[in-house]
Structure 1
Amino acid sequence: MLTINSIKNGIVIDHIKSGQGIKIFNYLGLDKADYSVALIMNVESNKLGRKDIIKIENNLELDFTVLGFLDPNITIDKIQNETIIGKVKLRLPDKVENVVNCNNPRCITSIERNIQHTFYLVDEKTGEYRCKYCDEIYKVSDIQIK
């Protein structure tokens, strides 16, 4: 049995869809961290069947918008003295800026380099976003993060 100790002070990113933990780990740049970090993959879960967990022994400022965009089912536990002092439940954000690029070659963002890539949520159930400039629709599951 694998044992991962609790953290004293920091955060736990929990309920990550199985297999997606590495994407969040890399996005947050945790491979370059100089503090303790644990990425636990394919953990059994009553709620999800299987899930990933990231434990970070540090109090990071996280962009909840981006994390909610990557996986809206994530919960973030804030830990102090080995006790959960706060819990944040994420959801799909209404607007996402400069997290993903529009791949439509006719979109103004493919020509003009200084324009922010902006997407608006159009369907929360299917996770569909629409480009602000060209109206191209993207599903969260199909989008590649910058």
Structure 2
Amino acid sequence: MLKVTSIKNGIVIDHIKSGYGIKIYNYLELDKADYSVALIMNVYSEKLGKKDIIKIENNIDIDFTVLGLIDPNITINIIQNEHIKEKVNLHLPVRVEGLLKCKNPRCITSIEKYVPHIFHLVDRKKGEYKCEYCEEVYKVEVDYLWNC
């Protein structure tokens, strides 16, 4: 039987869609960490069926915007003295800058490299974002994020 103990101080990223845990682990570069990190995959969950969990025995700075784009159902638990100090429920961000890239060749961002790529959420259910400049609409999928 697998046993992963609680952490004293750090962060638990919970309710990750099964299979996305390794992508988040790699994105956060946790393989280079000099503190304890546990990536637990395919854990049984009543809500999700299966889920991934990441436990980090350290308080690190995490961009919740990126995690919200990857999986808006993620829960972040800030642990202090083995108790949950704060719980953060993620969601799709309303505005995203610098994480997505507009692929429209007529967009100003394709011509002027100094112009930041800015997108606004237009459909939360579909996960669609619109470019601020050319109004091209993109459905955000995890594979799209890794190719930006």
Q: Partners of 2:70 and 2:113 in 1: how far apart?
A: 24
Gapped runs of 5+ residues in structure 1?
A: none
1:68 aligns with 2:71: no
Q: CA deviation at 1:110?
A: 2.0
Same amino acid, percent of matched pairs: 69
Gapped runs of 5+ residues in structure 2?
A: none
Give the equivalent residue in structure 2 for 1:39.
Answer: 39
Q: Partners of 2:113 and 2:11 in 1: how far apart?
A: 35
Q: What SS does the aligned partner of 2:109 have?
A: helix
Q: What SS does the aligned partner of 2:62 have?
A: coil
Root-mean-square deviation (CA), in Å? Answer: 1.3
Q: What SS does the aligned partner of 1:61 have?
A: coil
Matched residues, number? 146
Q: Partners of 2:23 and 2:105 in 1: how far apart?
A: 26
Q: Partners of 2:31 and 2:114 in 1: how far apart?
A: 29
Give the equivalent residue in structure 1 for 2:138.
Answer: 138
Q: Which amino acid aligns with 1:132?
A: E
Q: Partners of 2:75 and 2:25 in 1: how far apart?
A: 15
TM-score, normalization by structure 1: 0.93
Q: What SS does the aligned partner of 1:24 have?
A: helix
Give the equivalent residue in structure 2 for 1:101.
Answer: 101
Runs (4+) of structure 1 moved beyond 4 Å? none
TM-score, normalization by structure 2: 0.92
Q: CA deviation at 1:99?
A: 1.0
1:114 aligns with 2:114: yes
Query: Per-residue displacement from partner, 1:50-89 (whole Å, max 9, x unpaired)?
Result: 1111110101122222211111100000111111111011
Query: Per-residue displacement from partner, 1:32-63 (whole Å, max 9, x unpaired)?
Result: 11111111111110010011111101011222
